[in-house]
Amino acid sequence: MPPMGTGYAEDEGYVSQRLIDYYEARARGGVGLVIVEVTAPDLQCKGPRQLTLGDDRYVPGWQELITAIHKHGAKTAVQLQHSSMENRDGQYIQVGPSSVIVPTRVMGVSGQAPHELTPDEIGQIVQWFAAAAKRAKKTGFGGVEIHGAHQYLVASFLSSATNIREDKYGGTVENKARILVEILQSIREAVGPDYPVWPRLNAQEYGVENGVTIEETKQVVPLAVAAHSLYQRVLMVLFLPSWALGMGAGVLVGQNLGAGQPGRAERAGWLATGFVEAIMLIASLAILLWAEGIIHIFTTEPSLVEIASVFLRIATAGFIIAGLVTVLQQSISGAGDTLPPMIIGLVMIWLVQLPLAYFLSQVTTLGVYGVRWAIVAGMVVGGVAYVIYFRAGRWKRKRV
């Protein structure tokens, strides 16, 4: 069920019993997914009798609504919308990308040209959406839709009819879509990698000069998708192999440290794994220093490069720490071929590596499953390396 405004909210934006009854009736009738109507992300942009997720005090009412819908087997999502109207010092004024009046459009509907938002004001609006989405997830909604259609604020940035800016938020399709991309990126940071978030867009604006065209929308959609998936693509490509290699090298180095006096085969293994570790360390330092250049391989969109570079550096530092933990773990578990050291190593895997993996999944947006499979791949490679190395070492000692 798509989001459709009812005006059934209470005056201050609280969920009313009438609203609960309305949506419960639709859920009872067999709707699979209920997307709750236009909801203001902040109190400053809340209109009369409009719902809001701008403060925690609204959460109990929202939870009653969600419970009523879920009772009949339906799922829930909420649409976040900035209508372009804001309450500033007790007066409602219209805000927009440019101070222009467009006949038959939302911008200038009051008869006065809207206030042109400054970059700082745009940044504040972006954070409103992120905070509201985080609150929606905490409240129990299964997903969030960003209203980027119907000439409201986000849509007005996407249209050349209402956006005549000459800064980074206007001009090219990429610049006009920047506010949408920043909203999606900020929400993704706030809610994590696995929470459903999507925009609602005008594919084309009819009957308006310089309106959105289907060709422009074809360019906007990939930008919106990239806002969600870029970090996952970058991190999976760069770090799944390096995690596996790091685990394997960590096993070998650790076993050498714990083995006491190494023989010829052990010394050869030490040199080989030391060489691998040195290469990985140099590569990690290169990533820390030149993260932007690496991200440029995947995208040249400035806002994506900036934020993805930060994530890349955090992830790299995390993986370096994970490698050191692996060496420590394998040093203990490799202190001998007896059962107790192996048990200690197993315990360390569960108590250290898995919580670390969960932390990385939250910080890097790699995802719990991506990190989990990275660990599995690393353990497999490490196990194979251990078997090959020590079997080869024992075979050589027998021949000497």
Tokens linked to 340: 């107790």
Q: How far apart are CA 149 and CA 200, in angstroms?
A: 6
In one letter, which amino acid is 198?
Answer: W
Query: Model's pTM, two decimal places?
Result: 0.65
Whether residue 250 has pLDDT greater than 80: no
| pLDDT reported for residue 242 | 46
Whether residue 174 has pLDDT greater than 70: yes
Q: What domains appear along the chain, each with residue ranges and CATH number?
A: 17-212 (3.20.20.70), 230-399 (no CATH)
Q: How far apart are CA 305 and CA 373, in angstroms?
A: 26
Q: Which pLDDT band holds residue 193 (cuts at 50, 70, 90)?
A: confident
Provide the mean pLDDT of the chain: 77
Mean pLDDT of 376-400: 50
| pLDDT reported for residue 114 | 94
The single residue of 8, 22, 23, 152 carrying the catalytic annotation is 152
Q: Tell me which of 41-45, 51-55, 293-297, 324-328 is least confident.
A: 324-328
Cβ contact 144:78 at 8 Å: yes
| pLDDT reported for residue 275 | 62
* Overall size of the chain counted in residues: 400
In one letter, which amino acid is 170?
Answer: G
pLDDT tens across 27-46, in order? 999 999 999 999 999 999 99
Residues near 207 by beta carbon (within 8 Å), at least 6 away in sequence: 104
| pLDDT reported for residue 245 | 47
Tokens linked to 323: 């490698």
Of 226-235, 243-252, 376-385, give the range with the top mean pLDDT: 226-235
Q: Which residue has the higher pLDDT, 395 or 37?
A: 37
Q: How far apart are CA 12 and CA 326, in angstroms?
A: 55
| pLDDT reported for residue 289 | 77
Question: Distances in Å between the alpha carbon of 150 and those of 54, 65, 83, 266?
Answer: 22, 26, 10, 69
Q: How far apart are CA 331 and CA 46, in angstroms?
A: 59
Question: Distances in Å between the alpha carbon of 88 and those of 9, 124, 126?
Answer: 21, 14, 18
Q: How far apart are CA 345 and CA 338, in angstroms?
A: 12
Whether residue 355 has pLDDT greater than 70: no
Mean pLDDT of 69-77: 96
Q: Which residue has the higher pLDDT, 106 or 93?
A: 93
Q: Tell me which of 58-67, 207-216, 311-320, 341-350 is least confident.
A: 341-350
* Long-range contacts, 264-267 (Cβ 8 Å, 24+): 264/396, 264/400, 265/389, 265/392, 265/393, 265/396, 265/397, 266/393
pLDDT tens across 117-143, in order? 999 999 999 999 999 999 999 999 999
Mean pLDDT of 182-192: 88
Percent above pLDDT 70 for the chain: 59
| pLDDT reported for residue 365 | 46
Whether residue 353 has pLDDT greater than 60: no
Cβ contact 65:130 at 8 Å: no
Of the candidates 86, 81, 111, the residue with the CA atom closest to the CA atom of residue 96: 86
Tokens linked to 4: 């459709």
Q: How far apart are CA 58 and CA 52, in angstroms?
A: 7
Q: How far apart are CA 59 and CA 136, in angstroms?
A: 8
| pLDDT reported for residue 399 | 47
| pLDDT reported for residue 230 | 54
Q: Which residues of 144-154 are buried (b: 16+ CB within 10 A; e: fewer)?
A: bbbbbbebbbb
| pLDDT reported for residue 110 | 81
Neighbours of 93 (CB within 10 A): 14
Of the candidates 260, 256, 294, the residue with the CA atom closest to the CA atom of residue 275: 256
Q: Which residue has the higher pLDDT, 301 or 155?
A: 155
Q: Is 152 a catalytic residue?
A: yes
| pLDDT reported for residue 338 | 42
Q: How far apart are CA 41 and CA 131, in angstroms?
A: 8
| pLDDT reported for residue 107 | 86
Whether residue 397 has pLDDT greater than 50: no
Whether residue 60 has pLDDT greater than 70: yes
Q: How far apart are CA 294 and CA 316, in angstroms?
A: 12
Strands 85-88, 91-96: parallel, antiparallel or unpaired by DSSP? antiparallel
Place of tokens 């942009």: 45
| pLDDT reported for residue 171 | 94
| pLDDT reported for residue 225 | 82
Tokens linked to 203: 């594919």
Tokens linked to 332: 């203990």
| pLDDT reported for residue 217 | 92
